[in-house]
Every structure is written in structure tokens, then in C-alpha cells.
Chains A and B, each alone.
Chain A
Amino acid sequence: MSDDRTISRLPDGLWTQPEVSAPDLGDIGNIEPVQRIRVPAAMTYDYTPGEAPTRFLMGLAEKKILGEKCPVTGDVYVPPRGMSPAVGLPTSEQVEVGPKGSITSFCVVHIGFGVNAPPTPFVSALVLPDGAAVSVYGTVLEIPHDQVRIGMRVEPVWADDADLAPSFESIRHWRPIDEPDTPAELLKGHM
């Protein structure tokens, strides 16, 4: 159907579905089978991020990456969700982390999804901001994809001041900086 939405930009044949076959149902088998009904369903939610994510998002509007500290282990979680998942207790102390960080893992993307995807190939990465216990997701640009490596030092490229907002999109992408790589043993447990 012409009004079908595109569900994938994967090359033809990567996702396939067998032809629907009319079962042997006697006379009813001669009736043109209903192969599909269209039932559009949409629901609207007024989503609120919560207390800790609100603090984090507001920080992004000021070019700050704010993590939150576990009261027991001292680990700093970013982006915070309000809890230390290791102990099940609220995180309440805010700690500014980064903005510099180290790549803890990456992949080279050859098929981009979504209208905002950079030109392929590009690098998706997990970046461990300095002082944080966990990595955040981002894209790494301004470097050929085959030169990205685990341990590489990066910094965020922020949106123009006029475009800064309480959104993760305030970080446009990450780019390499001229600092020695972080040794793998220091990244252990943070990947």
C-alpha cells in the first residue's frame, strides 16, 4: 500500500515475511482471505522524567554533565535515574562529571536509522565521563571511523548557546582530544 510507513531502511530481503496462504477451509477457502487489517493506534503521554533526571537535564542546558552519587558505594551514575541500582537506595548528592571522557566501547554504523543519523559510516560509542562510574551513549565524529579505539580521550561538542536545552541533544556529538589514551585496566568495570 502506498500509505504504508517505511519500517526499515534495511536492504530488500533482509527482513522477509512468508506469503499468507489460505488454509484448506472448504468453501470459505474460496473467499479472498483478509490478509491484513489496519488499526492505527496512538496514545499521548505527558511524560515527566523525575527528580534526578530533571536535575541532569537542566545541567545539560548549562553545559554541565551532572551525575549522582551512590550513598553506599560512592559510584557516580550518569545519566542518573534517581537510584543507585547496586543498593536500591536514592542518590541525592549531585556530582559534576566530565566533560572530558574516555571511550569504553564503540561500533561503526553502516546503516543509519532515523532522520538525524549522521552520514554513514559513523561511530556510536559509550563514553565514560571523567569521575563517572558508568558510560553514556553518543556519536563520535571529527575523526575517520577506522581510527576510533577503546581508551581514546574525547570531549563533548555542545550545541550553540541559543540551542542549548534540557535535552541530551545539547551534546551534538563527541570528538577526540589530544590526550594519551586511558589504559584498559582503568576502564575495567566501567564498560
Chain B
Amino acid sequence: MRDVAIVSVSQSDHVRALPERNEVEMVQPIIEGAFRNLGASISDIDFVCSGSSDYLAGQAFSFVMTLDAVGAFPPIVESHVEMDGAWALYEAWVKIQTGHADTALVYGYSKASPGDLPRVMSRQLDPYYQAPLWPDSVAIAGLQARAMIESGKITEAEMAAVAHRSREAARGNPHAQLQGSAPVEELLAAPYLSDPLRRHDCPPITDGGVAVILAAGDRARSWVDRPAWIRGIDHRVDSHNLGARDLTVAPSVALAAAKAGVANGKVDVAEVYAPFSHQEKIVVDALGLGDDVVVNPSGGALAANPVMGAGLIRLGEVAQRIMDGTADRGVGHATAGPCLQQNLVCVLEGEG
């Protein structure tokens, strides 16, 4: 296997809506930032891969237009996934493993504000039995939260504590959309949104994105003093059939974590993509993380949730902490699909 590292991370300041800009106008500063971190340009990049969704943009092939922000002339080697940017990173990692590239630009973004996100998310469900009923994403997550509570795996107070801790942590994250939280008791006094979920249990709707640059071996070392090396990366799926799953566990997280080698060393920090408060416990348990691991110091998706970018942001947040020396080894997790259906786990590590 080739040693591949994240060497640059650039995020937008996430906001509820950015109506004055189109997608390419939103994405360009993010990509330019990833280049600026290294003093690099598109001519230094062998492969470009992005993650986004036409359903969010309301436009067919919307990612083609955001390619205008890359500088795709002379023609570049490029790919796209209709998934979170974390899976675009996986594709880029594979591309580098094959030897067809030494460097890659990866980005993921969403401009969710033009549409009705909870309804848009219902379009990812089974097209015959579930999607025709238009269950919104909050209601679907509510099914999972109910199953968690009824099985004694979590309480509403514990869920509120996750939301509180996340948004308080986000005070230190200049990119976060929601910073700070009311006390847990006050959160629990609020009305339900989709019982048992209250507003604080849900992620914000976000316009924003993230870009990272990957590089192999000495190319990575030439760019930064302390690259965030990808020591393991794996992604797995559970059934898309909600009725066929135990919604209180995520076997695909556990399997991906085992394949990625999470348990092969001490974990200093974990950034997990758990958009709803009750989901953090499912992911953390499946990753096998102990109480000593700092989880979501950025605030996580409860503080900013640019769909199709929020998973890649988790990897970027871990990489940033390794590059700046505040962590030696960390785990980034991304999810896709309803109720943590599909999951990617990435172990990142610094040298020396």
C-alpha cells in the first residue's frame, strides 16, 4: 500500500442559506483555500473528485458547473460521486493506490437552502414502498431515536447532553453555524419536533462545503511538516430496508472500523458524522471508542451540516488536528443514507 495523507483542509463558514451566490460561487473560495494552504495550484493535482447531489441543487448535473471553480483547462482527470465527499476521498485514495495519481483534490458541498431538505432526503428511500409515502428525514430519524429509547440504550436527557456538548464545543470552531447551547434542562423543556426528537436533537440545514488535498509519500512531506497519514479506510453498508434492520446498532460502522484498524492504537480524537443527537452513541459504540476519546471537538454535524460535505469535514477536522500537532492518531467517520445506513471509517495518524 502507498502512504497517502491529507495535507490541506479548507472549509466555508457554514450558514443557513447563501441565496446571493450560486453553487460555483460558493465552492470556489473553498477550493482556492485548499490550494492557498500549500501554495499549490491545479497543475499540481493529478486527480479531482467531488461529492454532491443534484437533488439538493435542484439541477441536473449540477456538479459539472462547480467544476468551473477547479480550473479544468487543459482538461483534467476528474470524477464525481453522488455521495458525501468522504466517498470522493475514498475514490481518490484508491486512484492514488493504483499509481495513476500522486495527488488529488477532493471536495464536497451542498447548497441545501433552495429546496425543502427533509422532503428532499426522502427521495433516497426505497422507490416502491417508502419514498411514495414521503417520510421526511426527521421522522425517519425519530423512528431510530424511539427504538434507542425504548430499548434503554439512551435517554432524552442523554440526547440533549450530546446536543449541548456539541454546540458548546462549536464555540471554538469559527466555521460552525450553531455555536453555544442552552442548558440541558432548558432543552428538555422545549416542545417536540418529531417525538421523541426536539429541535436541538436535529442538525441545522446548512449551505457550505469543504475541500481537502491528498498526496502520496514524499509529495506529502514536501508540502507539510506533519501530514495526516491515512492508516486505514473502509466503507460498508447496512440494508436500505429500514424494517429489516435493528436501528439501534450500526454493524456497518463496526465492520468498517475493524477493517480500517481503529483498535490498532490509541485514539486521541474522533469526529463522527452523527447528524441526530441519538446517533452519536450508536457510532461511538460501534467504533469501540473508550471514554478517554475526545468526540467531535468541532461540534460535529449538530453545529453545521452541509449534506455531502459534513462527512468529509469530519475527516478534515481530524486531519487538521494531526497536522497542527494537537493529536497523534484519530478517527474520522462519515455516514450516508437513512439512520446511519452506509458508513465510512478513516484512521489518520501523524509521524514522530
B177 CB to nearest chain A CB (Å): 19
Within 8 A of B (CB), among A4-58: 37, 39, 41, 43-53
B55's closest neighbor in chain A, by CB? A43
In the complex, which residues of chain A have a beta carbon less than 8 angstroms from the beta carbon of B23? 50
CA distance A88 to B76 in the complex (A): 12
In the complex, which residues of chain B have a beta carbon less than 8 angstroms from the beta carbon of A83? 24-25, 28, 68-69
In the complex, which residues of chain A have a beta carbon less than 8 angstroms from the beta carbon of B116? 43-44
In the complex where A85-B67, A86-B73, A88-B71 touch, is A47 in contact with B114 (Cβ < 8 A)? Answer: yes
Interface residues of B (CB under 8 A from A): 19-25, 28, 31-32, 42, 55, 58-59, 65, 67-73, 113-116, 119-120, 123, 127-128, 131-132
Among B22, B55, B69, the residue within 8 A (CB) of A49 is B22
Judging by beta carbons under 8 Å apart, are B42 and A39 in contact?
A: no
In the complex where A86-B71, A90-B28 touch, is A48 in contact with B19 (Cβ < 8 A)? Answer: yes
B115's closest neighbor in chain A, by CB? A45
Per-residue CB proximity of A72-91 to B under 8 Å, as 1/0?
00000000011111111110
B25's closest neighbor in chain A, by CB? A82
In the complex, which residues of chain B have a beta carbon less than 8 angstroms from the beta carbon of A87? 71, 73
B23's closest neighbor in chain A, by CB? A50
A82 CB to nearest chain B CB (Å): 4
Per-residue CB proximity of A165-178 to B under 8 Å, as 1/0?
00000000000000
B42's closest neighbor in chain A, by CB? A88
Q: Which 4 A-B pairs have the closest CB atoms?
A: A50-B22, A88-B71, A45-B58, A83-B68
Q: A43-B116, A50-B22 are in contact. List 9 more A-B contacts (CB 8 A).
A: A37-B128, A48-B20, A50-B23, A50-B24, A51-B21, A81-B22, A83-B24, A83-B68, A88-B69
A77's closest neighbor in chain B, by CB? B68
Q: Which of A41, A47, A50, A81 has the most CB of B within 10 A?
A: A50
CA distance A120 to B73 in the complex (A): 38
CA distance A89 to B35 in the complex (A): 12
Count of A-B contacts judged by CB separation below 8 Å: 83
In the complex, which residues of chain B have a beta carbon less than 8 angstroms from the beta carbon of A84? 68
B26's closest neighbor in chain A, by CB? A50
In the complex, which residues of chain A have a beta carbon less than 8 angstroms from the beta carbon of B123? 41, 43
In the complex, which residues of chain B have a beta carbon less than 8 angstroms from the beta carbon of A37? 128, 132
Q: Which of A44, A52, A85, A86 has the most CB of B within 10 A?
A: A85
CA distance A52 to B68 in the complex (A): 13
Among B20, B55, B68, B128, the residue within 8 A (CB) of A88 is B68
28 residue pairs bridging A and B, Cβ less than 8 Å apart: A37-B128, A39-B128, A39-B131, A39-B132, A41-B123, A43-B55, A43-B116, A43-B120, A47-B114, A48-B114, A50-B21, A51-B20, A51-B21, A51-B25, A52-B25, A53-B22, A81-B22, A81-B68, A82-B21, A82-B68, A83-B25, A83-B28, A83-B68, A83-B69, A85-B67, A85-B68, A88-B71, A89-B32
In the complex, which residues of chain A have a beta carbon less than 8 angstroms from the beta carbon of B115? 43-45
In the complex where A39-B127, A41-B123, A88-B42 touch, is A82 in contact with B73 (Cβ < 8 A)? Answer: no
In the complex, which residues of chain A have a beta carbon less than 8 angstroms from the beta carbon of B24? 50, 81-83
CA distance A45 to B119 in the complex (A): 11
Judging by beta carbons under 8 Å apart, are B25 and A90 in contact?
A: yes
In the complex, which residues of chain A have a beta carbon less than 8 angstroms from the beta carbon of B70? 88
In the complex, which residues of chain A have a beta carbon less than 8 angstroms from the beta carbon of B120? 43
In the complex, which residues of chain B have a beta carbon less than 8 angstroms from the beta carbon of A85? 67-68, 71-73
CA distance A84 to B67 in the complex (A): 10
CA distance A52 to B28 in the complex (A): 13
In the complex, which residues of chain B have a beta carbon less than 8 angstroms from the beta carbon of A44? 115-116
A54 CB to nearest chain B CB (Å): 8
A80 CB to nearest chain B CB (Å): 10
In the complex, which residues of chain B have a beta carbon less than 8 angstroms from the beta carbon of A52? 22, 25
CA distance A46 to B72 in the complex (A): 29
CA distance A150 to B42 in the complex (A): 35
CA distance A84 to B127 in the complex (A): 39
In the complex, which residues of chain A have a beta carbon less than 8 angstroms from the beta carbon of B59? 47
A86 CB to nearest chain B CB (Å): 4
CA distance A82 to B25 in the complex (A): 6
Judging by beta carbons under 8 Å apart, are A43 and B58 in contact?
A: yes
In the complex, which residues of chain A have a beta carbon less than 8 angstroms from the beta carbon of B114? 45-48
B19 CB to nearest chain A CB (Å): 5
CA distance A189 to B301 in the complex (A): 46
CA distance A47 to B119 in the complex (A): 16
B111 CB to nearest chain A CB (Å): 9
A74 CB to nearest chain B CB (Å): 14
In the complex, which residues of chain B have a beta carbon less than 8 angstroms from the beta carbon of A43? 55, 58, 115-116, 119-120, 123
CA distance A94 to B113 in the complex (A): 28
CA distance A46 to B234 in the complex (A): 37
CA distance A87 to B41 in the complex (A): 10
A69 CB to nearest chain B CB (Å): 15
